[in-house]
Amino acid sequence: MGTVTLQAIKQANFRSVFKVIAENSAVSRSVIAEKTELSLMTVGKIADTLLSQGGVRQIKESQNHAGRRAGQLMIDHDRYLLVHELSKDALHLSLFDLCLTQKEQHIIPLNKPNPTQQLKDLYRKIISDYGENQCCAVGLSLPFSPFAEDTINCIENLQNEHFRSVPFLKDSQINFAAHALARNAEGYEEKNVLCWITENNHWDGAYFVGGDLFFGRNGKFAEIGKLCDTNGLSLSSHLSSANAEEFEELFTANIANTLRILHPHTLVFASDHPTPILWQSLTEKLISKFGFSEDELPEFKEEPYDPSLVGRGLAIRLRELWIDRVALSD
């Protein structure tokens, strides 16, 4: 287990306070302290920092029963997150507020002339409507096989021109979808969660430790499906080309190794099509072939894969990055 630093504790406290504010239309510091189990002084300092950074507003004070004036805090809905999702045929550009509510979405087809000019025009409109300084973070999700290099370069240039001072995050769709999926697991922030996702017969996985996506070598996100065999072929490639029997054998072996090494509390499985793997047969093989007891197996959750998970997951990560930066500015 890694060392818990004061910086990590501070960022976790900021996230906790912000989460309570975002889940309420307006909330007092004392209620935040009660819900987060932080001291009123700590909540007050965090609130002051959030107010100074513009992500939170304080509405008109109200008189409480003790005769003291208690300010109510609420999210500043003018601030926004700029989310780019690159798919095979189009670029989806969305604005989310800090409550993770989608304010608007635009679709730029990539098979029509001049998509980069359309993107530039759209940026000008967004800046005119919402303001350049109101953007908190910018993100880009990439498909499993990146393409449209001109569009990617255009996004990066526009971000550098207009939003250089805010966090910028570029990563694969699988990690952002996994972020949204993992939050459906009970106790996500305290437990370890393993997510497996398949889309268009492409398999991949992501692992979360205490609410944070697990980092691998060189600071890269640990995409479990990218692990390779001795021939350099990734597990996701094996799974995508396997027949039903081979699939079940490969997938069960990978889950068994993952359980031994990472000990997840919850396994979330999402697919955009019916698969040959069943949790019941997987459980039986883990017990009979790999020697697990029922008590050692994680809770299993299965749900359909929804492409909108990518945009929401990216918005979640961008909000976390912005909150973490605000915490370090204090």
The CATH number covering residue 26 comes to: 1.10.10.10
Last residue of a domain, one of 166, 188, 219: 166
pTM for this predicted structure: 0.79
Please give the pLDDT value at position 262: 79
Supply the DSSP string of 259-308, one letter for each residue.
HHHH--SEEEEEESS--S--HHHHHHHHHHTT---GGGSPEEEEEE--TH
Question: Do 111 and 224 belong to one domain?
Answer: no
Domain boundary among 38, 55, 75: 75
Q: Is residue 272 included in any domain, yes or no?
A: yes
**Contact 140/175 with Cβ under 8 angstroms?**
no
- What's the residue count for the chain? 330
- Has residue 329 been placed in a domain? no
Q: Which residues contact 284 (CB under 8 A, 6 or more apart)?
A: none
Asked whether residue 114 falls in the same domain as residue 179, the answer is no
* Per-position pLDDT tens, the chain of length 330: 445 688 888 998 999 999 999 999 999 999 999 999 999 999 999 999 999 998 999 987 655 545 444 589 999 999 999 999 998 789 999 999 999 999 999 999 988 888 999 999 999 999 999 999 999 999 999 876 556 788 899 999 999 999 999 999 988 777 788 778 877 666 666 678 877 777 666 666 777 776 677 655 444 445 555 555 556 666 666 777 778 788 778 878 888 887 888 788 888 888 776 665 567 788 888 999 999 999 999 888 887 777 788 898 899 989 999 999 999 987
Number of domains in the chain: 3
Q: Is 70 in the same domain as 84?
A: no
Out of 115, 147, 166, a domain closes at 166
Angle at the Cα of 196 from the Cα atoms of 191 and 202, rounded to 5 degrees: 160
**pLDDT at residue 67 in the model:** 45
Residue 319 in any domain: the answer is no
CA angle 142, 144, 148 (to 5 degrees): 55
Verify that 184 and 291 share a domain, yes or no: yes
Residue 81 class from Cβ within 10 Å (0-12 exposed, 13-18 middle, 19+ buried)? buried
**Is 318 a domain residue?**
no
Do 183 and 161 have their domain in common?
Answer: no
**Lookup: tokens for 88:** 């095979």
154 within 8 A of 119, measured Cβ to Cβ: yes
In the sheet with 266-271, reading across from the earlier edge strand, the strands are 212-213, 202-209, 192-199, 266-271, 299-304
Q: Which residues, listed in sequence order, are joined to residue 300 by a DSSP beta bridge?
A: 267
State residue 187 phi and psi, 5-degree precision. Answer: 70, 25
Is residue 324 in a domain?
no
Q: What residue numbers bound the domain in which 71 lies?
A: 6-75
Has residue 107 been placed in a domain?
A: yes
Q: Spell out the residues 6+ positions from residue 169 whose beta carbon is closer than 8 angstroms to its own.
A: 137, 138, 139, 140, 314, 317, 318, 321
Same-domain pairing of 151 and 196? no
144: domain CATH number is 3.30.420.40
Residue 303 and residue 240 in one domain? yes
Any domain includes 320: no
